[in-house]
Structure 1
Amino acid sequence: MTTIGINTLVYMDALHNGTPQSELLDTIVSHGITLAEVRREYIADDAEYDAIASAAARNRLTLFYSVPESITIDGNVNPRFRQFLDEAERMHVSNVKFNQGDIREVAPQTLRLIDKEAAEHGVTLTIENDQTPENGTFACTSASLEHIAANGSAVGYTFDLGNWYWRDEDPRIAFDRLLERITVFHLKNVNGSPDKNRLATTMLQDGVIDWQSMLQRLPSTVPVFLEFPIPTTQVAEQVDIVRRAVANR
């Protein structure tokens, strides 16, 4: 059975109002969710790492960690890579997601170092296609994943469904070609505006992407995260929509 998770971006209004992510974990579990992804950019102080760990343990939540930094820079491991993994270990995180950076160009020994550090910290890693020209195109994402596979690295792939629209890419084509590489799925829908300045995420049932057909083909071992801002009163509805979609696989 597919595991459904919630990324704390779902509660963007609360985050912008200063609500700690440790408090949001109590809300997430109230929806019957057992998997949550916290975001580094919204961790306000050092004490929050321990608060997140305590809240996750109290609620028996599995945690993922989203770090909006490139995993590699100028052909080398991000200088703060070990710091980020130390933070993940402190929170008892299972998976850490990074931007792909220039991982498609790094030497095999750099990939081995990345894998070694991840294993020592007890986490798995994924890279993501984001909304930037550096990290979001199909060409760079495909090249990154091919390089990782060719060198036997354990780094996985978070497929972000909606982000392709910001790069004028077709998410259906990307999904078809990258399906075998996907280890985490970030689910969102978009309004499909041809004007990127007006392009926006929307409720799952209101957007233009046929995400249901993709979930039908996605292996049940791949967790699916809601990862877009949702009004508080509609979170339960969006969770139920995904539950129904995965139940009909």
Structure 2
Amino acid sequence: MTDAVDVVIVASAFGMDAVRAHGHLKWAEASRQAGAAGFEVRRELFADETDAAPPKLRELGERIAALGLWCVYSTPASLYAADGTLDADALRLSIEEALALGARFVKLQLGGFAREANAAVIADHLRCADLRLVVENGQLAEGGSLDQFVGLFDALAREGHADVLGMTFDIGNWAWRDVAPLDAAGPLAAHVDYIHCKTTTGEGARRFPAAPAADDVQFAAVLDSLPRSVPRGIEFPFETSRIDADAARYVAWLAAA
């Protein structure tokens, strides 16, 4: 029997409007009831900018921890600006907010990375931070291309900081870039610290995240090609008429898959 994997529920799985209306804590409680090990707090789903103030983040983090859950802190900020330069201010603010929350991971978008990683500056920002920085493959051309991610990890190694950050491998997001996720897993698996689990339905601008089918052999092959030791996040929407049942069923399935 294989060991169970930590499963995280991403707040948006419960519906963006529901999270903004009722707050993250309600859905962290639902995640705990579903058997999840962790909960992903999404900065863009705060009802008010004041929710990102350190005292409020600290209170939220303490209450989530009291449920027995650990946290991912996700921000829509990008690590690199459109001109390819490191956005040190966005990195600093994201780390400060994640530390206030008590998060295990802080997740940013990659942004406009081109060639230079500026890895020493990243390492300096993380020197006293007890959390892991990860960047996620997004749906847009900027921050979503396979070449960018391969180039990033090559640059980090070249600059002497190969392990300063890792990757959130979003299985479904590759569809927006017309990349087969199994093709991306080959060169990137060694850098993956966290997996966002979803597939997609539709095409082009009418493409939407969806739950993987239990018999989806391509999805299973991607999971098999990625590290089993890293947490798996549920980022597809639950059916509103059966949220609790969906959450529990998918947590159990992904933990054992």
* Residues 50-61 of structure 1 aligned to structure 2 (within 5 Å): 50-61=58-69
Q: Which residue of 1 aligns with 2:206?
A: 198
Between 1:25-34 and 1:236-245, the stretch displaced more is 236-245
Partners in 1 of 2:198 and 2:217 — Cα distance? 9
Residues 24-103 of structure 1: matches in 2 within 5 Å? 24-43=27-46, 44=48, 45=50, 46=53, 48-73=56-81, 74=83, 75-103=85-113
Which ranges in structure 2 are unaligned for 5 or more consecutive residues?
none
Letter in 1 for 2:18: L
User: Identity of counterpart residues, as a percentage?
Assistant: 23
Alignment partner of 2:169: what SS? strand
Matches within 5 A, 1:135-150: 135-150=143-158
- Aligned partners of 2:11 and 2:19 also within 8 Å: no
State the SS of the aligned residue for 2:41: strand
* Corresponding residue of 1:166: 176
CA shift digits 1:164-217 (9 cap, x unpaired): 1111222221122322221111000112x3x31221122221897721222233
Q: Whole-Å Cα distance in 2 between the matches of residues 182 and 231 of structure 1?
A: 29
What is the rounded CA distance, in whole Å, between the counterparts of 2:29 and 2:249 in structure 1?
18
- Any conservation in 1 of the 2:8–2:234 contact (CA below 8 Å)? yes
* Aligned partners of 2:146 and 2:184 also within 8 Å: yes
1:21 to 11, 24, 47: 24
Paired amino acid for 2:136? E
Deviation at 1:13, TM superposition (A): 4.6
Q: TM-score, normalised by structure 2?
A: 0.85
Distance in 2 (alpha carbons) for counterparts of 1:206 and 1:216: 14
CA distance in 2, matches of 1:65, 1:40: 7
Paired AA for residue 173 in structure 1 = D
Deviations 1:66-115 (A, max 9, x none): 111111224133323222211111111111111112444335xx312212
* Alignment of 1:240 onto 2:243: no
What is the CA RMSD across the aligned residues, in angstroms? 2.3
Tell me the secondary structure at the aligned position of residue 76 of structure 1: coil
- How many residue pairs were aligned? 244
Hey, what does 1:221 align to over in structure 2? 229
Give the alignment's TM-score, normalised by structure 1: 0.87
Range 35-44 or range 74-83, more displaced: 74-83
Could you list the per-position Cα deviations for residues 38-65 of structure 1 after superposition, in whole angstroms to 9, with x for gaps in the alignment? 1111122236413321221211211111
How far apart are residue 148 of structure 1 and its match? 2.1
